[in-house]
Structure 1
Amino acid sequence: MGDLMTRAPRDGDVIDTSATAPLYSIVEQSIRGKILDGSWEVGSQIPPELELCERYHVSRTTVRKALDALVREGLIERHRARGTFVQRPGTRRPDGHFTLVKGFSDEVHELGESAVTFWAKVRTEPADRLVSCVLDVPEGESLLVLERLRGTSGKPFTYMVSRITPCERFTLDPKAYEGSLYEMIRRKGIEPRLVQESVEAICAPAVICEHLGIGRREPVLKRTRLTRDTSAGYCELTENYYIGKSYRYYIGFGKDSPIPRTRADSA
């Protein structure tokens, strides 16, 4: 991040303490908003933890949980003895290692089951500020947006949204996406590789709970994945929302594996 030491703006912040979401999540959303709307610019140093505690009238533990989430998301980075700085979204990389991508269909196939797509919707839309930074495309560039509800054995348990560029290489026929997305793109000569992946428990918005057929208080696991094939000009950002009680996420550390291997398991 260089030696940029620009201090992020000092302004008052008010949060809704009556909201049902945890306080750290509300603080996290507020800070994320400042970064994405440009109030806190890339390279600027955000206020120290104690100052954020005073701004939001919350404990230091709450502030740290909010910042930890933003570090995992790649929006900020910590420098020992210097402070915490705003980072360009999508620039963080896991130790420089890359791995082939395993899709949902492959994961459930390993369990002896078949993936089912209950519905698929596809459209194009312009990239907003955050997505354009993550996908490294100009803001406003047309993206393919694919929404799907998937599961196994007649029971849906994941809602997924994929944003893909370039959109010109893909059809807008939703029936084409009822099977494996990665099988489709590999037939096009594209070999996506995992660049970054994060997993977190969230309080899902009402629209996602509606898609999954669950109540607002049921746990949801959010899995965000960024994949690329630089040679093909392909980039994809996918957000998967799983019903917490119906999905387990395993990470196996093998001595011959440069990075963790993952496996899905329907409970």
Structure 2
Amino acid sequence: MSTLKASPRHGLGDRFTPLYIRIQDRIRAAIADGGMAAGDRIWSEAELAREYGTTRSTVRHALDQLVFEGLIVRHIGRGSFVAERAVVHSPIDSRYSLSFEEQVAQAGRVVTYRSPTLELVSPPKAIAEKLGIPPGTQVFKLERLRIIENRPVCLEIRYMPRAVGERVTGEMLASRSAHNFVGEIVGERIPTIMVSVTAEVATAAVAKKLELSEGAPLIVRTNAHYTGDGTVVICGRSIFAGDVSTDYVLGQLPPGHAR
């Protein structure tokens, strides 16, 4: 861990720079100039709050942005550390639809699953509309954690019509991507996934499941999987820790770029 030294920013300009920005600048500079390397523990919230004469809430706000940018990671009970800058590269040709698990596999990693559940529920109105079913019709809700190298990186929440959910097995829940096993159930590789991406902060419940701090940044992918005839057979949300990133290449890759 680096020793906490006087801030490199001096002069009247400091008075017009918000404290949380000054804290972020300090940590970014320490990483950029090599003063802190991947795996190094950064200064604690208490140390930074004391030096800058502010509250731990302000410090936490500053660190949240650095977590979102992927510069640092937090470990409950241990502190914050400079992040490994590993990125999951996941080129996607528009002629194919790759699941998150397949994208991760391209980077030589493996996704496993923890705490899977599958239950009949009355879905929210928006989900019923997406699945094209009357309000109040029960559907199956799948919920589980995606794990990479013993770390929970995503809370997966999916809804599927009853005719599909009734054929989901324990083996599917424990070891296979939803994209994969739902395709098997409906008898075709699902050709189209519509995705929207938003940023959110973690509620207490989500933070506990993903082993994050409450209020930590999240990346949320809301998706709907369509069969060839345009039927939605599964939809929901994938809630990722803010430092988990994937790269996308839409369309055919340029010459000389490997898949």
TM-score for both structures, normalised by structure 1: 0.53
Task: Report what 1:227 is aligned to.
Answer: 225
Equivalent position amino acid for 1:119 in 2: S
Task: Report what 1:210 is aligned to.
Answer: 208
**Cα distance between partner residues in 2 of 1:101 and 1:196:** 10
Return closer, same or farther for 1:102/1:254 CA change in 2, 3 Å cut-off. Answer: closer
Partner secondary structure for residue 207 of structure 1 = helix
Matched, 1:137 2:133: yes
Gaps of 5+ in 2: 1-93
Q: How far has the Cα of 1:162 moved from its partner?
A: 0.5
Return closer, same or farther for 1:198/1:164 CA change in 2, 3 Å cut-off. Answer: same
Alignment of 1:137-216 (within 5 A): 137-168=133-164, 170-171=166-167, 173-178=169-174, 179-188=176-185, 189-216=187-214
Flag the structure with more relative contact order, 1 or 2, with Cα contacts below 8 A and sequence separation at least 6. Answer: 2
Between 1:100-109 and 1:149-158, the stretch displaced more is 100-109
Matched, 1:252 2:249: yes
Task: Report what 1:105 is aligned to.
Answer: 101
**Cα distance between partner residues in 2 of 1:162 and 1:99:** 24
Task: Report what 1:61 is aligned to.
Answer: none
Q: How far has the Cα of 1:226 moved from its partner?
A: 0.8
Q: How far has the Cα of 1:194 moved from its partner?
A: 2.5
Paired positions, count: 160
Partner secondary structure for residue 241 of structure 1 = strand
**Cα distance between partner residues in 1 of 2:193 and 2:109:** 27
CA RMSD of aligned residues (A): 2.6
TM-score for both structures, normalised by structure 2: 0.55
Contact 2:202 2:213 in 1 (8 A): no
**Cα distance between partner residues in 1 of 2:98 and 2:123:** 25
**Cα distance between partner residues in 2 of 1:240 and 1:253:** 20
Q: For the pair shown, which has the larger CA radius of gyration, 1 or 2?
A: 2
Partner secondary structure for residue 184 of structure 1 = helix
Matched, 1:122 2:118: yes
Contact 1:123 1:172 in 2 (8 A): no
Between 1:188-197 and 1:210-219, the stretch displaced more is 188-197
